[in-house]
Amino acid sequence: MELALIRSLMDKDFYDDHRGSRCPDKLFSKDIRKIKQSLDYAMEKYERSLSTEELEAIFHTNNTTMTTANKQVFVGLFNKLSKQDPMTKEIAQDVLSSLFRQAIGEDVANIGFDYVNGTSSSLEPLRRMIESYNDDFLPNMKVSWDDISVDTLLKLNDLEAQWKFNIPTFARHVEGVNGGHLIVVGARPNTGKTSFHASMIAGPNGFAHQGAKCLVLLNEEAYHRVGARYLSAATGMTLKDVKNNPAKAGMLYDKVRGNLHIKDCTGRDMAWVEQVIKTYQPDIVVLDMGDKFAPKVSEKSDVLLREAAIYARNIAKAHNCAIFWMSQLSAEAEGKMLPNQSMLEGSKTGKAAEADLMILIAKPPLVEGQEDDLSSRKLVVAKNKLTGGWHGGIDVELDGDISRYTP
């Protein structure tokens, strides 16, 4: 690998991008280091790319006192170098960066070791080392800049959503979602969060019917209960109806079954979620509950929830899927028909800051002397960075027996 890197450094353009402290001699073993020093000398003097023959001649000119045995060692090395193909610039860049980080890490570790063991009484050597490198802690980067041409920007900002919401009155204001979006859905307990994503995915004209590959990752309610809601949403049949006519239910359910995958993920974290998404490449992902996928890296719930939400959004962008993060609303939202994003449980701003779209589900407050309204709901768009940016509330009906939302 060292000789391949030397071969790449013989190219003037690549050498100029990585000269000096960006490619210190310490990165190379003893013998290769001597060749690198001759390369530095030649590049400084001639300012052009070199052939292996030229570098070998310069090396022997600068090292006239070597023993015969040592000369044979370097003849062998230059023979190998002549047969060595140069790395591509991208690979050479990665290799050099890795070696550079390793060398810097060793220097920092040695300084730290001396400080801990009392050999050094201050961290002044660390400060001097940092100053000596200035901005060269990593070799120069070759950035492939994003395409911002008119055609590309128009294409990527296409106004049409790929996956459309299946509640017409809601879709008139928020058409749907695309890969890369993080959607936070919040509600108080027993308001209809699970039925919402079941209806949105498996209900008539839902995401699964549109051809979206959907993953539903659960860590709260048992998978068979959630699966039953998806079965009812897909068929329009209660479980009792399904038992009475399983053939009909199977026929209707098969229309979405191929695009639907449900898994109990209790105890898993966002790193596990990313691996699943990377493996199965879904279009739509539901995290129910999103908060419980946050690793406990901080005692402050708002910190860990924000970090998990950032992670989720990065996953959505990296793997081109839309992620629905199901969340509880705090007691402050109880009975409120227009809840706002500050009422998210455990994180007043962290999750909200990362969301592209936030949908909060409200139900009428319980009035003393009256029966609980089991069907009336309001879908409140509390945040909307998608096209149009509409905010407001839409009245809908929830049929809890078949887990379907309708206008």
**Residue 113 banded pLDDT, cuts 50, 70, 90:** confident
Output the average pLDDT for the chain. 87
User: Given this model, what pLDDT does residue 119 score?
Assistant: 74
Beta strands in 115-259 (DSSP E): 163-164, 176-177, 182-187, 214-218
If you average pLDDT over each of 4-8, 144-148, 154-158, 191-195, which comes out highest? 191-195
What CATH class is the domain 161-406? Answer: alpha beta
Tokens at 385, concatenated? 């960075």
Residue 298 has pLDDT above 60, yes or no: no
Helix (H, G, I), strand (E, B) or coil at 322: strand
With a cut of 90, say whether residue 109 has pLDDT above it: no
pLDDT for the residue numbered 4: 86
Instruction: Tell me how far apart the alpha carbons of residues 263 and 223 are, in angstroms, rounded to a whole number.
Output: 7
Could you tell me which residue, 260 or 104, shows the higher pLDDT?
A: 260
pLDDT band at 96 (very low <50, low <70, confident <90, very high): confident
pLDDT of 367: 73
Residue spans of the domains in the chain: they are 2-133, 161-406
* pLDDT for the residue numbered 325: 96
The alpha-carbon radius of gyration of the chain (Å, integer) is 31
Element of type H or E holding 406: strand 404-406
At residue 282, does pLDDT exceed 70? yes
Q: What is the pLDDT of residue 296?
A: 62
| CA dist., res. 22 & res. 133, Å (int) | 8
Instruction: Please report the pLDDT score of residue 130 as a whole number.
Output: 67
Q: Flag whether pLDDT at 278 surpasses 60.
A: yes
Q: Which of the pair, 142 or 30, is modelled with greater confidence?
A: 30
pLDDT at 306 (0 to 100): 84
Q: Which residue in 207, 239, 209, 244 sits closest to 225, CA to CA? A: 239
Lowest mean pLDDT segment, chosen from 20-34, 41-55, 197-211, 229-243: 20-34
pLDDT band at 137 (very low <50, low <70, confident <90, very high): very low
Q: What pLDDT does 121 receive? A: 64
Cβ count near 307 (within 10 Å): 17
How many angstroms separate the CA atoms of 273 and 313, rounded? Answer: 12
Rounded Cα distance between 263 and 139, Å, is 44
Higher per-residue confidence, 297 vs 246 = 246
Q: Which two tokens stand for residue 77?
A: 């090395």
pTM above 0.85, yes or no: no
